[in-house]
């Protein structure tokens, strides 16, 4: 699922190395009229050195994420600084070829080169060093984050334990303590994040963009303002479904906690939704379940009763992909990945997928829990890995997904095939329950996918406004909660001030990972699923359709993935779905039975917040 996935290592794929004295582009600098041949030589030179420099950074980042110490932070910062300085130098040099009539590949690679870093550093060496140190320290602070509810001498609680308590407890005081505790980790990030925004904005402006937000939005084969409008169009398509779910959940929470804690017609306090960021609500399913919604099994209970371990959880995901015709994962995947949280050191548990050498050294990094949530997360992460492998024959600057939402959507689209029929096929359940329990399955998934949509949207809405200057540092927290109330209809559970920095309590903010990709992923995965089911000739409702063991669907998927980012994303979308526009009607179709039921329940309730 989106909420636990880091796209970070994938976004490192499009980076470039330092110039060398014999770089063709450097030799031609004196020439006032560059040629297409010189542009191609420039790109070829960058790509020839790309993998070496990227691999160095990947290895340093892996060690820093799986063994957090001052030394590994310094090593990662050094490697990142090299990449950042080189990328900025190449991106600025690429501007020399602006306006020149170029072959398609050369022109596209030059564009990708300019957009290749999430945090473009200024050309000033001192500021480059400062930015990389800030970036690494923020991510490490998040990974090491702990709080002490009983005081400094008491037990330390980290995010994993706090999240587990939020998922299982129904005591509002306990929930508030965990929420407040984790959000006490991030205020120390505030000053550094302000400086990070200043420096990365300066780097983006040196590359010719108004600000970093505009640079991020330029990475979608359309103008920044067109992309903003596209995101809003998609949100309007799904907003009625979200609001119907919100109204039903709010009513259930009023029943559970009373109107003193949950306003009958207002916003839901964020700590009551079973998740640290109220971004997915599946953990409160028992409180909101349809009366006839029992699917006949509990996947978490099934996995635990069968004593499935962490490795076998990953094996289930691998077998799904091999059933589509893909090769098994390399042996090194099993020896080099991190599947469990080590007992002897701090690590970044946030799940992520890695291609260390852009070829065959594939890995995932997770602190796997034996539950249905991580069962889906594993499918998602392996989706990254199989995508990385599919495009590894492309030139380095094309080794990425069609757009970043595609990478996130792929594994989740496969996870939509984890239906009762599939679970029966692989022996996890003995029989397929009848359709009477489908409302329960749909509700569970909606609490994950539909509930996530506004959160997937608002994080970058906040950052885009921070980068543009519309949100000033003195209003960081105020506007964060304004956006959460506007889009999610959730409220802070206790008084927040500008001494707090609640955006920093979400990994993707201190790690500077663009987040709109997760919103797009949620839309695209249902569009992918609908198209793959059609290709496979699967009949019946979308929520019961599975493409497991269908080689025809696998071939269609492989064709799209192998394109990488060599073509504009509408062409890749068309290769898989036959459509050139992202379309949220697939998610509306998928949840149609649930939406009908929700509307019936909400007849005498206020819908909206």
Give the active site residues.
Answer: 350-351, 380-381, 384, 408, 508, 518
Question: In Å, how far are 43, 45, 160, 267, 385 from 30, measured between CA atoms?
Answer: 18, 18, 56, 62, 43
Residue 445, phi then psi, degrees to nearest 5: -70, -40
**Which residue from 432, 434, 436 is spatially nearest to 421, judged by alpha carbons?**
432
What is the dihedral sign for C-alpha 117, 119, 123, 124?
negative
- Which residues of 4-117 form beta strands (DSSP E)? 5-6
**Half-sphere exposure of residue 118: CA atoms within 13 angstroms, side-chain side:** 25
How long, in residues, is the chain? Answer: 609
Q: Which H or E run contains 227?
A: helix 224-257
Beta bridge partners of 158: 146
- Any idea which residue has 């970044």 for tokens? 348
Question: In Å, how far are 31, 42, 45, 113, 182 from 27, measured between CA atoms?
Answer: 9, 10, 12, 20, 53
Residue 578: count other Cβ atoms within 10 Å of its Cβ.
10
**Which residue from 122, 139, 266 is spatially nearest to 206, judged by alpha carbons?**
122
User: Which residues make Cβ contacts (< 8 Å) with residue 39, sequence separation at least 6?
Assistant: 97, 100, 102, 106, 110
Beta bridge partners of 490: 268
**Which residue from 568, 69, 29, 49 is spatially nearest to 345, judged by alpha carbons?**
69
Tokens encoding 402? 């069609």
User: Which residues make Cβ contacts (< 8 Å) with residue 398, sequence separation at least 6?
Assistant: 109, 112, 391, 564, 565, 566
Beta bridge partners of 364: 353
Question: In Å, how far are 41, 187, 307, 318 from 326, measured between CA atoms?
Answer: 35, 45, 27, 9
């Amino acid at each position: 699922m989106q909420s636990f996935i880091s796209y970070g290592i994938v976004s490192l794929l499009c980076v470039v190395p330092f110039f060398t004295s014999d770089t063709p582009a450097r030799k031609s600098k004196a020439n006032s009229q560059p040629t297409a041949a010189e542009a191609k030589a420039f790109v070829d030179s960058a790509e020839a050195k790309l993998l070496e420099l990227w691999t160095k950074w990947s290895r340093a980042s892996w060690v820093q994420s799986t063994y957090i110490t001052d030394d590994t932070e310094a090593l990662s910062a050094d490697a990142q600084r090299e990449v950042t300085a080189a990328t900025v130098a190449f991106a600025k040099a690429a501007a020399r070829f602006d306006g020149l009539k170029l072959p398609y590949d050369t022109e596209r690679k030059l564009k990708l080169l300019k957009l290749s870093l999430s945090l473009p550093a200024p050309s000033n060496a001192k500021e480059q060093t400062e930015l990389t140190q800030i970036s690494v320290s923020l991510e490490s602070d998040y990974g090491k984050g702990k709080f002490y509810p009983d005081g400094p001498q008491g037990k330390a609680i980290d995010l994993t334990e706090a999240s587990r308590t939020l998922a299982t407890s129904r005591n509002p005081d306990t929930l508030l303590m965990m929420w407040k505790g984790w959000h006490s980790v991030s205020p120390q990030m505030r000053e550094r994040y302000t400086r990070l925004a200043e420096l990365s904005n300066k780097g983006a402006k040196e590359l010719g963009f108004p600000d970093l937000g505009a640079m991020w939005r330029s990475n979608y084969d359309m103008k920044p303002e067109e992309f903003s409008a596209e995101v809003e169009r998609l949100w309007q398509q799904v907003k009625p479904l979200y609001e119907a779910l919100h109204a039903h959940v709010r009513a259930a929470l009023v029943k559970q906690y009373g109107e003193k804690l949950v306003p009958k017609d207002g916003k839901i306090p964020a700590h009551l939704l079973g998740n640290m960021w109220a971004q997915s609500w599946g953990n409160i399913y028992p409180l909101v379940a349809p009366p006839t919604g029992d699917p006949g099994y509990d996947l978490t209970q099934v996995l635990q009763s069968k004593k499935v371990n962490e490795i076998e959880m990953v094996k289930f995901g691998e077998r799904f992909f091999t059933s589509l015709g893909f090769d098994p994962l390399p042996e090194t995947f099993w020896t080099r990945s991190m599947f469990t949280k080590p007992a002897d050191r701090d690590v970044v548990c946030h799940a992520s997928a890695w291609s260390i050498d852009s070829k065959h050294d594939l890995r995932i990094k997770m602190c796997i829990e034996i539950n249905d949530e991580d069962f889906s997360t594993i499918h998602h992460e392996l989706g990254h890995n199989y995508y990385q492998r599919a495009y590894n024959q492309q030139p380095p600057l094309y080794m990425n997904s069609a757009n970043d939402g595609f990478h996130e959507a792929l594994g989740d689209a496969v996870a939509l095939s984890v239906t009762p029929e599939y679970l029966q096929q692989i022996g996890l359940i003995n029989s397929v329950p009848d359709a009477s329990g489908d409302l329960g399955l749909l509700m569970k998934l909606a609490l994950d996918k539909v509930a996530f949509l506004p959160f997937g949207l608002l994080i970058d809405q906040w950052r885009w406004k921070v980068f543009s200057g519309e949100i000033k540092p003195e209003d960081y927290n105020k506007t964060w909660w304004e956006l959460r109330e506007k889009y999610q209809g959730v409220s802070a559970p206790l008084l927040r001030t500008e001494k707090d920095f609640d955006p920093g309590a979400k990994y993707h903010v201190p790690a500077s990972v663009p987040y709109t990709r997760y919103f797009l992923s949620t839309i695209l995965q249902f569009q992918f699923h609908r198209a793959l089911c059609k290709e496979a000739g699967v009949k019946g409702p979308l929520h019961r359709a599975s493409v497991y063991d269908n080689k025809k669907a696998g071939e269609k998927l492989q064709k799209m993935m192998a394109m990488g980012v060599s073509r504009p994303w509408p062409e890749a979308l068309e290769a898989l779905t036959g459509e050139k526009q992202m379309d949220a009607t697939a998610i509306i179709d998928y949840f149609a039975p649930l939406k009908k039921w929700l509307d019936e329940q909400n007849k005498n309730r206020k819908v909206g917040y």
